[in-house]
Amino acid sequence: MIRLAILASANGTNAQAIIEAARDGRLDARIPVVLTNKEDAGVIARARNFGIPVEVVPSKGHRNRAEYDALVVETLRKYDVDTVALAGWMRILSEVFVNAFQDRILNLHPALLPSFKGATAIADAYEHGVRVTGCSVHLVTPELDAGPVIIQAAVPVNGTVDELEAQIHRMEHRIFPQALQWFAEGRISVWGHKINVAPASERVKKIDYIEGCIVSPPLEEKI
């Protein structure tokens, strides 16, 4: 079982999906804290609704990213966390943070990496006219959105950009808890820049197609 901190800057729907997965037994994690850099972030109410402590560490007024990240790391240490989930954390991490939780930070990105990095990935993919985009969960390295990919969901580009965003978010809510569960089970290994997910130790149902989207590796449900 991992001790997971969730970092989020906005509404917190992905944070809620992770919390619900842990509550329902689909994720072997204790979540001792949710941390945000925004005093008005929607994730605050979501976390408190589940009785999870919230730390608000405002990001304004610091000299640089390293100074701020050192403060966040210090705050997380109080909760004895060993793993970090970036669920809409709208800040670029410094090496101070990455080194503090090396190889134990998972990030969710709303595109099929390595394409469309950065904060405007959904709009960028839509404006670029791609036929398929999606979302990715990856391990975090000092380089932005460049760590090894654990799982991806491919989402066809249909309708408006708002409809695309909604579909991507639905897939995010499925793949992020799954990636965290594989991590909690110790099934993830890194070979160069590639991730291997070891077979499950018990029987599972594999789901690689959902709501018109392809998921790889497949989602798993216990039988």
Active site residues: 109
**143 is written with which tokens?**
């380089």
> What residue has token string 């709303």?
110
Question: Hunting for tokens 């992770």 — which residue is that?
Answer: 18
